[in-house]
Structure 1
Amino acid sequence: MYQPYQEELRFEKIRTIIHGDSDAASLSVANEIASLIKQKQEQGTKAVLGLATGSTPVKVYDYLVQFHKEGRLSFKNVITFNLDEYFPMEPDSIHSYVRFMNEHLFDHIDIEPHNVHIPDGNLSMDEVRKYCDDYEEKIKNVGGIDIQVLGIGRTGHIGFNEPGSTLNSKTRLIRLDRVTRLDAASDFFGEENVPKRAITMGVGTIMNARKIILMAWGEGKSSIIQQAVEGEIKESVPATFLQHHENCDFVLDEAAASSLTRIKTPWLATECDWDEKLIKTATIWLSEKLNKAILKLTNEDYNEYGMGNLIAEIGSAEQINLKVFNQLQHTITGWPGGKPNADDSQRPERAKPHPKTSLIFSPHPDDDVISMGGTLLRLVDQGHDVHVAYQTSGNIAVFDDEVIRFLDFATDVQKDNKDLRKKFKEVREFLANKKPGELDSPEVQQFKGLIRKGEALAACRYCGVPEENAHFQNLPFYETGAVRKKPLSDEDVQITYDLLNKLKPHQIFAAGDLSDPHGTHRVCLQIIFKALEKLKEDRVEWIRNCYVWLYRGAWQEWDIADMEMAVPIGPKDMARKINAIFKHQSQKDSAMFPGNDEREFWQRAEQRNKDTANRYNALGMAEYEAMEGFVRYHF
């Protein structure tokens, strides 16, 4: 079992390596795998790899392919065993792990086909048990696995070993947990299309590997990572079994590591070097921990929770409390575009110029109103020139029934247009014969994009944003018709660059979901950042006076310690925000990709905004109905 040697790591029971981002982390894992392969080549032996699928290891495979194409690495001496496969699953299905591994790795390297092993999802039930026994035997016959690569699910599963799996479990057929199926729903265009079973290596099979590397990216994994690394070993969180392994590394980006004690509450682990940000974070944490307003915290409270050296440095709880209270107070503003003719020295936004040109980037056609609808309405009401840039069409999130509903309307309107009626008939026939998870035809993709465009325009009209201020970018990286997108390109950046340079905004609002390494929000943000950097390199003058504010998506809110602007929303504006969300009718009642929250988007947004206001109130701030939070990006 892992024994940490630094005091700050004393809560961690597994060796944990934190990188700045998922790209750097993936490169480190790829280098370790490449080193093993080369070492085995020098010894004249085989390197045996246990491989995982999903979004987490994709960049590792990209690097391995790059190493091979550059002539730095051969896979002639490599044998692979994949962790799992859905059951039943045809090997050529777009959802199969056979296809995934071929597309991301095997088709691009010189591995011998007979050295590749992936569980067969195309067996009959009578064949499964013997097949699983043979899979175990094949691993033993090649001397066992040298490096086993893992991801981790929100339930703590490794491979498809769901909660309840035992330490000694072997390769077998299992039933998938509902949370696991819900997480996979986006790939299958609906939970109902996700297989209910899978073949997976067992926990015992994984534990027999000589080295285990578990990777995790993003804040969505931070909670389960904290449980796996710092929690008690239990069957309900299978990843905790890895604490028994003598050579296991957790390789994380900063977001996935954010709930570990040494990151989230380092004062509980060791003495800290206190800076402004850490003081603010610790004081808010202590206030919420004790359910006390900030100004009521005492010296004894700080001492009891590992912050005695902070009191010694600053002098008293009162001084710390007042400092943090004032910092929080200054984040609250009802003027997100700046208050004209006011002292702005303690305000998050500048008073001048007024009115401002405000550009809101919305990754999907409803993120603007879901995530910052109250602020958008406030900007319009206060006279600013508000523009919304819808970065993607959002077409894959529209149900087929919505297309048919609009076609029925259009068919009646265009009764005399034979060519159009013929096209509509072809689309209906395609949808009637479409298989679960099958990609839409270009025509269907176009119609679905138009549905979402119409909804976005309706929301703009309701909010008072002129239709000509709605910009539909339809960034090329998104337009694949599949959940998996293309990498961002120079064309994506140029489209964004041109819009920015045309509008010359005084302030930009963008979705700041930095913790999602492969999702649309993150790619959209990267495109904005690259366009801003290009503008900066080109010495464009207006960019020097532009503020960039990051909001969060429908899934989570910024931590209060990070918020630099908090915009209060009254009951009337909350109702207006919800009505704006309602304009996106194709996403109402049931969303294509609901994530792990089954509530409608308006319900999530309302609760999130109210929770933020309640947290501010509990800290001792003024009581508001709801609040939207923002973090400023400095570029």
Structure 2
Amino acid sequence: MARLNLLEETRFEKLPVTVYANQDIASKKVARRITDLIVSKQLKGENAILGLATGVTPIGVYRELVRIHKEEGISFKNVITFNLDEYFPMKPTSPQSYVIFMKENLFNHIDINMDNVHIPDGTLPIEEIHDFCLSYERKITELGGLDLQILGIGRTGHIGFNEPGSAPNSGTRLVTLDDLTRRDASRDFGGKENVPTKAITMGIGTIFKAREIILMAWNQKKASIIKKAVEGEISAEVPATYLQLSENVEFIMDQDAASELTRFNTPWLVKDCTWDVPMIKKAVIWLANTLGKPILKLTEEDYNNHGMAQLATEKGPVYNINIHIFNKLQHTITGWPGGKGNADDTQRPERAVPDKKRSIIFSPHPDDDVISMGGTFIRLVDQGHDVHVAYQTSGNTAVWDDDALRFVEFARDFSKSIDLDTNKLDELYVSMRKFMENKQPNQADTAEIQTLKGLIRKGEAISGARFAGLKDDHIHFMALPFYDRGKTTRKPVAEDDILITMDLLDKIKPHQIFAAGDFADPHGTHKVCFDIIIQALERLKDKEWVKDCWLWLYRGAWHEFETHEIQMAVPLSPQEVERKRLAIFKHQSQKDRPVFPGDDAREFWVRAEDRTRETAKSYDKLGLAEYEAMEAFVRWKF
């Protein structure tokens, strides 16, 4: 019976999928399977032939392989590896090369014979690539083929660098990279314009020949493409769907990457559910949106025809369910994000007491506060709360070089106009110009330039916070050290980051904390900043003020909460939307064309307005009041 239930639950899935609680557990499971293969081959006196991947996805696997080698003594002397791909052109000494990646993350830390390591050569003359690719294939074949191929998946659905349009029988070859793939790589190269347009990759046909294939995927950013790869029709537009044809493949992922699969996203379509309030809320909103109906117009027939008959039977009549969820949504809407004093708060998202709260808004970058929750920020100040803002990083990587020069030029001209000695400024200016003229893609700026760019963003942040109504002593610049360390190491968070955050929190003793919960940030900074806050609060949990402190997550710059997730929705009038826009405009270095725009070509202020307007529309379509815009929040209980 259990097997039948599992088959029913996964009936939309066209290949085997294993989901783990988080990527750390999953990575260790994959690493153990690899070492088990290596040991089994050693016992037979045979070589283990591995196909390896690069990128963020396999880093945890490689870290665990290194640990197993060092702590358990597993040898890699019988291992022969073939990497999936390499950018073209690419020098093996370049920081962005997959040669460097594999050495830093695996090969330098184990006892593998480097003569057994094979990585596509990004330095070849283009006329020699065809023969090289044939030779690469021939080596794999002569060794008896790949025992195990590990894969990640790109947001285009590519495996290796087999982009949309790749043929299922393709071999190792030179390919042109999709624009989205290049955008995703832009951070490593200091901008998309520096990312190579081509790569050498194993083909889908080559991958298919492996005796075992494991595709791994982590985090919410991969959820939509995973759904297409696992549940969609086989299509050249999503090359990973070709893996549905393999009898030797398994997809391994964490819960976030699996979140859009039918059995997790809309489980009522495949099995009986435990109908708690969050599940009912999600299902009713899904049904209303699917049918294009307000909640209060949903009928029993609607429920029965869309997999929700069990809900109607157990919790009905359906009109009572509709009213219950409508009221739940209604109670998330508040014009008092700090709570309304002297009012009944039983149906409000925030407490009435204390009447005036100490609130702190953590902003990972110097503009996330006004972009994502600028209207709420201003309203908290207007309503008399003791509001602080804390900018967690300098954001100095996101300033154009010519903007930095412009500020130094201004300082030189200003100094000369009032007869100040400008010798040191002149020296700095000359050295900056020389450095920038010879700067390599993704090369770290000099300490002076980093400071200058940080000051540019600091000035903009002060201007934005002042516009929101804050005094200077309520504006905090944390300069968390992880941000600069992260430019040279992959494990940037350290004790000092946590201690700085603990000190500020314990100094302010807030009743409310607002933090970025927008983990779709392509640079990963938001997630790191959030983790630091959580670790700081965990250590402070015995403090009396922590027991009465609520943590609210905001989004907006990169992604928005789903309607069923929202626990506080702060409506904005047209005038408040304009005030928020003006606060965002204070961040001049991020206007027009920011250094790191991500996938979205719109300016940040346009994104913010469009997303808050869409949130308001989502409430309106469900039958609630129509507002100009809404900023959404979810409470994180710690």
Give the shorter-chain TM-score range: over 0.9
Cα distance change on mapping 1:515 and 1:584 into 2, 3 Å = closer
Distance 2:485 2:14 in 1: 42
Match of 1:462 in 2: 467
- Encode CA deviations 1:443-502: one digit per residue, 9 max, x unaligned: 211111111111111111111111221111111111047386543111111110111001
The 5 Å alignment of 1:200-349 reads: 200-349=201-350
Which deviates further from its counterpart, 473-482 or 393-402?
473-482
Secondary structure of 2:602's counterpart equals coil
Question: Given that residues 338 and 357 in structure 2 are in contact (C-alpha distance below 8 angstroms), is that contact kept between their aligned partners in structure 1?
Answer: yes
Distance 1:85 1:374 in 2: 46
- The reply to whether residue 390 of structure 1 matches residue 395 of structure 2 is no
Match of 1:30 in 2: 31
The 5 Å alignment of 1:67-86 reads: 67-86=68-87
What amino acid is aligned across from residue 565 of structure 1 in structure 2? M
What amino acid is aligned across from residue 463 of structure 2 in structure 1? A
Match of 2:513 in 1: 508
Question: Given that residues 171 and 205 in structure 2 are in contact (C-alpha distance below 8 angstroms), is that contact kept between their aligned partners in structure 1?
Answer: yes
The 5 Å alignment of 1:603-614 reads: 603-614=606-617
Distance 2:90 2:606 in 1: 36
Secondary structure of 2:66's counterpart equals helix
Among 470, 473, 480, which residue is 2:478 paired with? 473
Question: Given that residues 403 and 447 in structure 1 are in contact (C-alpha distance below 8 angstroms), is that contact kept between their aligned partners in structure 2?
Answer: yes
Cα distance change on mapping 1:5 and 1:274 into 2, 3 Å = closer
Distance 2:379 2:490 in 1: 34
Distance 1:66 1:143 in 2: 29
Quote the offset at 1:271 in angstroms: 2.2
Say what the alpha-carbon RMSD is for the aligned residues: 1.5
Question: Given that residues 445 and 481 in structure 1 are in contact (C-alpha distance below 8 angstroms), is that contact kept between their aligned partners in structure 2?
Answer: no
Secondary structure of 1:414's counterpart equals helix
Match of 1:52 in 2: 53
- The reply to whether residue 534 of structure 1 matches residue 539 of structure 2 is yes
Match of 2:495 in 1: 490
Distance 2:11 2:156 in 1: 25
Distance 1:354 1:425 in 2: 56
Quote the offset at 1:333 in angstroms: 0.5
- Encode CA deviations 1:541-596: one digit per residue, 9 max, x unaligned: 11000000011241111111111111111111111111111111111111111111
Distance 2:442 2:581 in 1: 31
Question: Given that residues 521 and 558 in structure 2 are in contact (C-alpha distance below 8 angstroms), is that contact kept between their aligned partners in structure 1?
Answer: no
Number of corresponding residues: 631
Question: Given that residues 364 and 525 in structure 2 are in contact (C-alpha distance below 8 angstroms), is that contact kept between their aligned partners in structure 1?
Answer: yes
Distance 2:122 2:309 in 1: 58
Secondary structure of 2:17's counterpart equals strand
- The reply to whether residue 594 of structure 1 matches residue 597 of structure 2 is yes
Question: Given that residues 163 and 237 in structure 1 are in contact (C-alpha distance below 8 angstroms), is that contact kept between their aligned partners in structure 2?
Answer: yes
Question: Given that residues 217 and 517 in structure 1 are in contact (C-alpha distance below 8 angstroms), is that contact kept between their aligned partners in structure 2?
Answer: no
- Encode CA deviations 1:22-61: one digit per residue, 9 max, x unaligned: 2222222122212212222222211111111111111111
Question: Given that residues 414 and 421 in structure 1 are in contact (C-alpha distance below 8 angstroms), is that contact kept between their aligned partners in structure 2?
Answer: no
Distance 2:328 2:364 in 1: 31
Among 544, 559, 564, which residue is 1:561 paired with? 564
Secondary structure of 1:277's counterpart equals helix
Question: Given that residues 550 and 633 in structure 1 are in contact (C-alpha distance below 8 angstroms), is that contact kept between their aligned partners in structure 2?
Answer: yes
Match of 2:631 in 1: 628
Distance 2:9 2:254 in 1: 18
Match of 1:116 in 2: 117
Question: Given that residues 396 and 482 in structure 1 are in contact (C-alpha distance below 8 angstroms), is that contact kept between their aligned partners in structure 2?
Answer: no
* Structure 2 residue ranges without an equivalent (≥5): none
Distance 2:426 2:446 in 1: 17
Distance 2:304 2:161 in 1: 44
Instruction: Report runs of 4+ in structure 1 exceeding 4 Å deviation.
Output: 514-518
The 5 Å alignment of 1:138-177 reads: 138-177=139-178
Match of 1:378 in 2: 379
Secondary structure of 1:457's counterpart equals helix
- The reply to whether residue 430 of structure 1 matches residue 435 of structure 2 is yes
Cα distance change on mapping 1:395 and 1:370 into 2, 3 Å = same
- The reply to whether residue 584 of structure 1 matches residue 584 of structure 2 is no
Distance 1:517 1:40 in 2: 40
What amino acid is aligned across from residue 403 of structure 1 in structure 2? A
Match of 1:9 in 2: 10
Distance 2:484 2:24 in 1: 24
Quote the offset at 1:249 in angstroms: 1.3
What amino acid is aligned across from residue 32 of structure 1 in structure 2? R
Distance 1:550 1:74 in 2: 46
Secondary structure of 1:49's counterpart equals strand
Question: Given that residues 396 and 457 in structure 2 are in contact (C-alpha distance below 8 angstroms), is that contact kept between their aligned partners in structure 1?
Answer: yes
What amino acid is aligned across from residue 586 of structure 2 in structure 1? K
What amino acid is aligned across from residue 160 of structure 1 in structure 2? F
Which deviates further from its counterpart, 200-209 or 62-71?
62-71
Distance 1:603 1:166 in 2: 39
Distance 1:529 1:233 in 2: 42
Distance 1:74 1:414 in 2: 65
Secondary structure of 1:70's counterpart equals helix
Secondary structure of 1:509's counterpart equals strand
TM score, norm. by length of structure 2:
0.97
Distance 1:453 1:127 in 2: 51
Secondary structure of 2:466's counterpart equals helix
Distance 1:141 1:473 in 2: 57
Quote the offset at 1:288 in angstroms: 0.4
What amino acid is aligned across from residue 526 of structure 1 in structure 2? D
What amino acid is aligned across from residue 496 of structure 1 in structure 2? T
- The reply to whether residue 446 of structure 1 matches residue 451 of structure 2 is yes
Match of 1:101 in 2: 102
Distance 1:326 1:286 in 2: 17
Distance 1:350 1:272 in 2: 32
- The reply to whether residue 551 of structure 1 matches residue 557 of structure 2 is no
Distance 1:186 1:579 in 2: 28
Cα distance change on mapping 1:505 and 1:605 into 2, 3 Å = same
Distance 1:172 1:13 in 2: 28
TM score, norm. by length of structure 1:
0.97
Which deviates further from its counterpart, 376-385 or 32-41?
32-41
Question: Given that residues 358 and 506 in structure 1 are in contact (C-alpha distance below 8 angstroms), is that contact kept between their aligned partners in structure 2?
Answer: yes
Secondary structure of 2:82's counterpart equals strand
What amino acid is aligned across from residue 477 of structure 2 in structure 1? F
What amino acid is aligned across from residue 584 of structure 2 in structure 1? I
Distance 1:248 1:604 in 2: 39
* Structure 1 residue ranges without an equivalent (≥5): none
What amino acid is aligned across from residue 594 of structure 1 in structure 2? P
Q: Percent identity?
A: 60
Quote the offset at 1:515 in angstroms: 6.1
Distance 2:310 2:9 in 1: 16
Secondary structure of 1:396's counterpart equals helix
Distance 2:51 2:210 in 1: 8
- Encode CA deviations 1:606-627: one digit per residue, 9 max, x unaligned: 1100000000010111110001
Distance 1:228 1:160 in 2: 16
Distance 1:396 1:518 in 2: 11
Question: Given that residues 182 and 197 in structure 2 are in contact (C-alpha distance below 8 angstroms), is that contact kept between their aligned partners in structure 1?
Answer: yes
Distance 1:67 1:4 in 2: 37
